Amino acid sequence: MLTEHDCQLMAQVATNTLLRIVLSFTTICCVLCLPCCLYSLWRVQKSVKLHFNSKCIFLTHNFSMLIHIIVRIVLHGKDLTNYFGSWESGCEILPSRSRCELRFVYKLSQYAIEISPFILTAERFVATFRAHRYENRCKWCGICLMCIHLTLAISMVTLRNAEKTGEEVIYYCWLASTGNRYFLNIPIFFIFSTQLATIPGLLYLLKKNERYGETSLHNSTLTERYQLFENLRTLSKFRIMSIVTWIYVTYNAASSLGVNYILPDLELGNQFASVEIMHCVPLYFLILTFLILREDKRPRSQFEIRVNNYQPHYFDELQKFFDEAFEKINLRRNTKTRPFIHDNHTIGLEKENGDVCMSVSFEVKILNQQNNNTAPIEFHLASGKIKGKCAEDRKSEATISSTVDERDGRQKTLKFIFRTDEMRVKRVDELRWQLQKVIYVEKFAGSSAVFESDNSSVIFSAPLTQKYVCEDRINVTLHSENFDFPILVMFSPEIDVQPYGPKSNFYLCERTRKRTLSDSLQHRSTVFCGVVLALSSIAHIVGHMLRRHFMPHRKELYENLDRVPMNN
């Protein structure tokens, strides 16, 4: 039940000059903020240089600002209409409780605005330390940070409204009661603490990205250098936002602490005016918008200098990217292939323009080990119907198969599947092609049997830029899920395989390399032994001659032998 005293207090609040001035100024600032906020939302949404995660945080910040100013325009506009309107009793203009509930949205959006720099700092930490793969990935991080952003804001609103010990204020719409004011200021000082952590974090990120930029000239990819450039660009704008927010939060925390001591001694209207002066969010946003627009219009000489310094490396990477892109386009244009047979021994695939994209040359025999069979059957690849698919790029799969129709109605197909993979060779990762799988299919009288090689072993393997050559026999065992006996595919020399286009050099298989080296060593050892034997013989003859020449008493013995008379 309203009393006359309540009506008099409401009349004092409505006629308070300071409160009217503060509300009028705040409302004008909110109206000015409205187009700025809409323009900021449009710029963030249309920006193609901002990362998705940064967009999420900036959009949350600007949406919160838009909600905040709309609620303040509604609340302050209604209050000003009542205060400057015609009324006879203060009880006629008491605010309704339903209208005062908007103050919860007001404070929620304000906390979301004040927490934004802290959340953006966390996002920039992730962007800095994951720059090698952050450009088009890690979008889940932005969603998580946005959820944390809103959760912290809701938690602080709940904490601020948790104290209900005092008399509820009905003369003016504000969020808190007149109970324990120190308890109500906990969210303000929490935000102040996060801002204190944001400033050194921002300085650390700037230094870190500058050091990365200095060392990225020769050690980083174009994607990483672009991400570092965008980090510095985003941090330059974020630096302005962080400093302005830190000044506002510091002012808000200091004024809240000071007003708590003098608030009980102020008139009711001055109390409400003091609260609005402390929460000057619209003025903060106008200053922030002005400084960011000023930063956007400033000439970016520092970035132009860096681009000029990195120009050859950037364009080398760009040229490499375009070369690979055009290569893929040309490969897709020439995807149609036709089989060819050369010298009744080599089979392969060639494109419409005549370029050979796959070539296989070896003899194959099939040994069916059912019932301990030991007689292999020759599978002449060139006699069958050749099918296959060339690789579109270095990481695509290539296949070739030969299907032979026997006189008894059997149809036999031998298929080879090639893939590429990075393999560690002498402590270095090397891109190599490999014969990943061999498949043998035999069809007869409506039934079929499929035998495949094991995936645990690599049959043929060579560097991507070389063809595979082997002069030794290679056997591959094939298994089937439906049969308990294996099939042996025997590759006879000379084996010559190049599944990824013609190669200028070759890779000799390990077995042939070892055998050739052994034969070479044996041949060399034979020649070496002959040379040693010849040299030792010559040395022995020369030594014997020298011995005769330099020993006179031995020479006399030899001469006396000539003087001995011969017996008739």
What is the predicted pLDDT for the residue at 178? 41
Q: Give yes or no for residue 413 having a pLDDT over 90.
A: yes
pLDDT for residue 554? 63
d(CA 462, CA 507): 6
Which residues on adjacent β-strands are paired with residue 476? 489
Tokens of 536: 């030792």
18-32 tens-digit pLDDT: 988 989 999 999 999
| 421, β-bridge pairs | 432
**Both tokens assigned to 417:** 């599947």
The pLDDT tens digits of the residues spanning 444-459 come to: 888 889 999 887 777 7
Task: List pLDDT tens digits, range 321-374.
Answer: 667 776 666 655 555 788 888 888 888 888 877 888 888 888 899 998 887 788
- Work out the angle at residue 142's Cα, subtended by the Cα atoms of residues 141 and 145, and round it to the nearest 5 degrees: 85
Cβ of 314: how many Cβ atoms within 10 Å? 16
Find the mean pLDDT for residues 118-130: 78
Of 99-103, 137-141, 394-398, 431-435, the poorest mean pLDDT is in: 137-141
- Enter the tokens of residue 165: 């010990």
279 or 181, higher pLDDT: 279
In Å, how far are 213, 378, 401, 534 from 384, measured between CA atoms? 59, 12, 9, 59
pLDDT of 224 reads 59
Look at domain 337-513 and name its CATH class: mainly beta
If you average pLDDT over every residue of the chain, what do you get? 78
Q: Are 68 and 109 in contact (CB under 8 A)?
A: yes
According to CATH, the superfamily of the domain at 4-295 is Rhodopsin 7-helix transmembrane proteins (1.20.1070.10)
The mean pLDDT value for 159-179 works out to 55
Cis peptide before 494 (omega within 30 of 0): yes
**Average pLDDT of 409-429?**
84
Across the range 524-535, mean pLDDT stands at 76
Rg (CA), the chain: 44
**How would residue 318 be classed by pLDDT, with cut points 50, 70 and 90?**
low
pLDDT at position 108 over 60: yes
Per-residue pLDDT tens for 203-226?
A: 777 777 666 666 555 555 555 566
Tell me the CA distances in angstroms from 290 to 43, 297, 346, one per residue in order: 14, 11, 74
